[in-house]
Structure 1
Amino acid sequence: MNLIAEQALARAKGILSPGASSKAPTRKFWTPNDEQRFAELYGNTPMPELIEIFGRPNHAIYGKAASMGLKRSEAYMASEHACRLRRENNPGVEFRFQKGQKPWNTGTKGLPSTGRMPETQFKKGSKPRNWLPIGSLRLSKEGYQQRKVTDTGYPPRDWVAVHALLWEEHYDPVPAGHCLCFRDGNKQNIELANLELITRAERMRRNTIHRFPPELKDTIRQLNKLKRAISEASDEKQND
């Protein structure tokens, strides 16, 4: 890593995680003595005490108990320390719907309109304000010009790239595993001579850094390392 990248990395970590250790947290393993003591205590010891004794979060305690096949004792399950849903037998059953019981709005479709609500509700057959008829053009987020060919209400089906329609008009549809690219890189230059049918594997190779000069590839790698370091430092700060 060059000097500029090292300085930027150190500055990013200092800003995002001041005072935080650069060392990754080490995993805490269970020793045989820990397991023996855990087996003795788990049946009747409340969770807060287990967390304090073994220095592990509750999900680690539950996971270890499951892996060792440990269960809470009947006395513990009947005590106030046990979860109410586990301690009680089918709690809240009197407040649930009984078999055959119908809700009050059975047979109705939604709630009745009140006041001026009907004035602002969609009428049958009405279209939203951003609706466009078949044949309309739009620009996708990726910069491709699209034409509306159907009106099903499902945009991925209704809108098709204009350059793909042009290709299908003169040739067959784009086969699976292939795509069209613009020879000059201009997505607005929709001419048949400017379109090239290539495999997606070839497109991936063209979009990788291996096509760049060595000095530019090294700069891109350093930039990606810096982005990862900033992301890791941000995650560490959020976890503190």
Structure 2
Amino acid sequence: MTKSRGINRPKAVWTDDQLETLRRLYSNYRTEDIAFLIGHTLDSVYRKANSLGLKKTAEFVAAQSARQLNRPDHPARESRFQKGLVPWNKGVKGVAGVQEACRATHFRPGQQPHNTLPIGSTKFDKSGVLLQKVSNAPGNGSKRWRAVHELVWVRENGPVPPRHIVVFKPGMKTNVLEEITIDRVECISLAENMKRNTRHNLPPELNQIVQLKAVLTRQINKRMKHGQEEHR
């Protein structure tokens, strides 16, 4: 570990009593007052409170905000609504004709966008896997789109078991709809899938390239770190 050589400030030391005081007071008292009481800098108190997950209560924050707004020099006072001021749009329900035009473009309950694809449509995801639309359910896209190879397996075998995944058998992957058949896919555990994708299963020459790349990356990072330390 590289020493700071006196450049960095000494690390603040907290006693058990100081920590107990901080936990007890932080939620409902000003941080400046707590720092003065404990004997630590304001920054040190903020950092320690953050590391302990301490937060101000909503009531304290609201009270502090109200107190700040009541200051005569607070800039927000100039833009506040004054007592008795009538809003310029009081009683205005909308301009005739504009409301009717807006209604024509409103979405109705259950209405789908004009570019919604029908159920059964297919598309490719970012990795080139062929997906098929299975529903118009709102929310996450995974509720509407499923991988075709998974659907093929499910039609033959039922739901995918927990902690399992449907994949193509080695060397049989395809994204052509007609070629995705039950003999090309299988259901394996997540652990087995991880084993299949480890670098140890790569061809020897490719495995060596991966190892060399990792060594090169470590050397580059080491040299960059060394150069940064010399310029401090």
TM-score (norm 2): 0.51
Q: Which residue of 2 aligns with 1:162?
A: 148
The offset of 1:166, in angstroms, is 0.8
The offset of 1:177, in angstroms, is 0.7
Verify the 8 A CA contact 2:153 2:186 in the aligned structure 1: no
Query: Residues 129 and 66 (structure 1 numbering): CA distance in 2 closer, same or farther, change over 3 Å?
Result: closer
1:148-207 Cα distance to aligned partner (Å, 9 max, x none): 121123321121211111111211221111112212252414121111221111111221
Aligned-pair RMSD on alpha carbons? 5.1
The offset of 1:89, in angstroms, is 4.6
Higher normalized contact order (CA 8 Å, seq sep 6+, divided by chain length): 1
Verify the 8 A CA contact 1:143 1:187 in the aligned structure 2: no
Q: Which amino acid aligns with 1:146?
A: L
Verify the 8 A CA contact 2:123 2:132 in the aligned structure 1: yes
Verify the 8 A CA contact 2:35 2:45 in the aligned structure 1: no
What is the rounded CA distance, in whole Å, between the counterparts of 2:145 and 2:65 in structure 1? 57
Task: Report sequence identity in percent.
Answer: 25
Q: Which residue of 2 aligns with 1:186?
A: 173
How many residue pairs get matched? 168
* Worse-matched range after superposition: 167-176 or 184-193: 184-193
Structure 1 unmatched ranges of 5 or more = 1-22, 33-41, 68-84, 97-103
Q: What are the within-5 Å matches in structure 2 for residues 1-240 of structure 1?
A: 28-30=10-12, 58-63=42-47, 86=64, 89=67, 91-92=69-70, 114=98, 118=102, 121-124=105-108, 126-154=111-139, 155-183=141-169, 184=171, 186-188=173-175, 189-212=179-202, 213=204, 215-222=208-215, 225=218, 229=221
What is the rounded CA distance, in whole Å, between the counterparts of 1:66 and 1:199 in structure 2? 40
* Worse-matched range after superposition: 115-124 or 86-95: 86-95
What is the rounded CA distance, in whole Å, between the counterparts of 2:147 and 2:43 in structure 1? 50
TM-score (norm 1): 0.50
Verify the 8 A CA contact 2:164 2:188 in the aligned structure 1: yes
Query: Residues 152 and 119 (structure 1 numbering): CA distance in 2 closer, same or farther, change over 3 Å?
Result: same
Q: Which amino acid aligns with 1:161?
A: A
